Chains A and B, each alone.
Chain A
Amino acid sequence: MSLTYDDVVAKYEPVLGLEVHVELNTNSKMFCGCSTIFGAEPNTQTCPVCLALPGALPTVNEKAIESTIKIGLALNCSIAPFSRFARKNYFYPDMPKNFQISQYDEPICVNGYVDVEIQTDEGTKQFRVEVERVHMEEDTGKSLHVGGATGRIHGADYSLLDYNRAGIPLVEIVTKIVPGTGKYAPEVAKAYVSELRDILRGLGVSDVKMEQGSLRCDANVSLRLIGSDVLGTRSETKNVNSLRSVERAVRGEMIRHAELLNKGERVVQETRHFQEDTGLTRSGRSKEQAEDYRYFPEPDLVPVAPDAAWIEELRAAIPERPSLHRKRLQEAWNVPAKEMEAMINADVLGIVEATVALGADPTKARSWWLGEISRLANERDTAIADLAITPTDVAAIVALVEKGELTDKLARQVVEGVIAGEGTPAEVVSKRGIKVVNDDGALMAAIEKVCAEQAETAEKVRSGHLPAAGALIGAVMKETKGQADAARVRELLLGHLGQ
């Protein structure tokens, strides 16, 4: 008796809370000078501090504090004039000190919000997701489970630990309960994480790669009967590592809870693990007996008390919120929503914007980056950003086309040349000897030659069958090695044939 989602939301109101962990992209770790490069050989980025060797002491990375304050400001939080690190004590082999340096009752940022929009059948809906706190902590090491079938813990014979990740700065962003989402809870959760990711990317404080774990979401879900004030027991789903999974996990948990409740069973307060393959969650550690973390102020570190001037300096450097920024661009450029979406998905919005700022027409800039250049990137299996072509180059190419010095077709050759490392567009043009043939005399000579060679086709055109002109134009273009302006060729050809 599987419930449908509609059955669930007809009876229950979902109560949603989200915890997002973000790895900051600092050069060094949170409490030591070890590098944070992803994917290094195991245990090559460790030191006495992040291995918790006896006697080692932590020191705070200033950039991590700055990034956290920036995040707080971008999420409309208050920045605490006094905050402290605390030790969260629990034993786990991937955590070298067997306590995590985190923040407890004195987090650095509190009381913010993020407005998110979702598209529904009834049009665009806005929700305000309130942020309870933003705090700093450190990441754990990584364990590799050996033996057993699946690489999961259960059934493993032993584990191998790599502490390269241990101590990488993490920022934890915790929402308050998000009220009134109703049936839209899964979409709101996804939209929130997506918005957060954009904001963080815009701040430049994190790589925000969910698939690499630099942005991780835990979704807390409970249900209560519509009309009742009694909150249900919540589950906390971890391992949700894509935007789509956020939505699926919330929806899946709502259905699972409802099925239990309908059967008169109890929801267990526990950690659950999302499984990409099935879209279902699996039970993790039960939290029936709440862990006693014995938090206390970290005695090896001193309080963080940012002064107002520092905060204001950071506030001044906060970029416009990406979603608002986008809205503004969309209006200024007069772009359809679909196209906007395409630019965002292809991750070219910033580049297009830079190109437009250099004087290029928005439509042209967009079509170059999203079209030809994207295609070339695909072909080479690299990211657009990694190609050797810059907004300056593209703006120059657009200008050359506008001035009539290049045709679209020639411009494509220039783009290719720039990407191949042949220099600036001007250098590529001169090195490759690319120029538009706009000498009518030369064109006429080519036209006459072609008409003579393809007399039958020329006759068709002359007698009014215009589609046949295409073949002749193509031949002329070939004759002029593609350097002619096709429109001008057409004009001259049709005139020559009395049309």
Chain B
Amino acid sequence: MSSLSRDDVAKLAGLARIEMSEEELVALSNEFTVILDAVARVQEVAGADVEATSHPLPLRNVFRTDVVVPSLTPEEALSGAPAQEEQRFRVPQILGEE
């Protein structure tokens, strides 16, 4: 039986960048116990000799020629920005790596 603890969900929420309340964490971990049981069924039939299909069509080598096409104007590019400055997207301070 598959299950996810509250801490597992918290770790996943961190990876997925979603703040979650204690209640939500607990509620989701309970739900996942049920959902994972249902989806784990895929393992019943997926033998080692079966190939994986990641895409419904057997397409190959779809390329574009290296030609420049017009970009958006900076006004268009920044039109949805929550904040901007000097024709750049203004974002809160970035912690971590530079």
Is the CB–CB distance between B91 and A158 below 8 Å?
A: yes
Q: Does B1 sit within 8 A of A, measured CB to CB? A: no
* Cβ proximity bits A258-279 to B, threshold 8 Å, 1 near / 0 not: 0000000000000101000000
The residue in chain B whose Cβ has the minimal distance to the Cβ of A86 is B54
* Cβ proximity bits B50-87 to A, threshold 8 Å, 1 near / 0 not: 00001101011111111111111110011010000111
Is the CB–CB distance between A160 and B67 below 8 Å?
A: no
Q: Does A47 sit within 8 A of B, measured CB to CB? A: yes
Interface centre among A42, A43, A147, A303 (most CB of B within 10 A): A43
Is the CB–CB distance between B66 and A35 below 8 Å?
A: no
Cα A41 to Cα B69 with chains together (Å): 17
Task: Classify chain A's interface size.
Answer: 35 or more
Nearest-CB distance from B47 to chain A (Å)? 20
Is the CB–CB distance between A299 and B98 below 8 Å?
A: no
Q: Does B93 sit within 8 A of A, measured CB to CB? A: yes
Interface centre among B54, B66, B67, B94 (most CB of A within 10 A): B66
Is the CB–CB distance between A42 and B91 below 8 Å?
A: no
Is the CB–CB distance between B66 and A43 below 8 Å?
A: no
Interface centre among B72, B89, B91 (most CB of A within 10 A): B89
Interface centre among B62, B70, B73 (most CB of A within 10 A): B62
Is the CB–CB distance between A62 and B64 below 8 Å?
A: yes
* Cβ proximity bits A266-310 to B, threshold 8 Å, 1 near / 0 not: 000001010000000000110000001010110101111110000
Q: Does A51 sit within 8 A of B, measured CB to CB? A: yes
Is the CB–CB distance between A27 and B66 below 8 Å?
A: yes
Cα A91 to Cα B86 with chains together (Å): 24
Interface centre among A63, A160, A306 (most CB of B within 10 A): A160
Nearest-CB distance from B33 to chain A (Å)? 22
Is the CB–CB distance between B55 and A299 below 8 Å?
A: yes
Given the known interface contacts A43-B74, A46-B77, A299-B55, the answer about A61 and B63 at a Cβ–Cβ threshold of 8 Å is yes
Of A149-157, A316-324, A344-352, A420-428, the one touching chain B = A149-157
Q: Does A378 sit within 8 A of B, measured CB to CB? A: no
B80 surroundings in chain A (CB, below 8 A):
53
The residue in chain A whose Cβ has the minimal distance to the Cβ of B86 is A160
Q: Does B17 sit within 8 A of A, measured CB to CB? A: yes
Cα A212 to Cα B55 with chains together (Å): 38
B88 CB contact (under 8 Å) in A28, A152, A160: A160
B86 CB contact (under 8 Å) in A35, A42, A62, A152: A42
* Complex interface residues of chain A between 144 and 172 (CB less than 8 A to chain B): 144-147, 152-154, 156-163
Cα A45 to Cα B93 with chains together (Å): 24
A297 surroundings in chain B (CB, below 8 A):
54-55
Is the CB–CB distance between B68 and A35 below 8 Å?
A: yes
Is the CB–CB distance between A44 and B71 below 8 Å?
A: yes
* Complex interface residues of chain B between 40 and 54 (CB less than 8 A to chain A): 54
* Complex interface residues of chain A between 27 and 56 (CB less than 8 A to chain B): 27-28, 32-35, 41-48, 51, 53
Is the CB–CB distance between A285 and B91 below 8 Å?
A: no
A46 surroundings in chain B (CB, below 8 A):
71-72, 74, 77
Additional A-B contacts beyond A61-B64, A285-B96, A305-B60 (17; CB < 8 A)? A28-B64, A33-B69, A35-B68, A42-B88, A44-B71, A47-B77, A59-B63, A60-B64, A61-B66, A64-B66, A93-B91, A146-B85, A153-B94, A154-B95, A161-B91, A284-B98, A302-B61
- Listed A/B pairs (9) with beta-carbon separation below 8 Å: A43-B74, A43-B78, A43-B87, A91-B17, A145-B93, A158-B93, A160-B88, A273-B98, A303-B59
Residues of chain B at the chain A interface (Cβ within 8 Å): 15, 17, 54-55, 57, 59-74, 77-78, 80, 85-98
The 8 A-B pairs of least Cβ separation, nearest first, read A33-B69, A63-B66, A62-B63, A160-B88, A302-B59, A161-B89, A297-B54, A59-B64
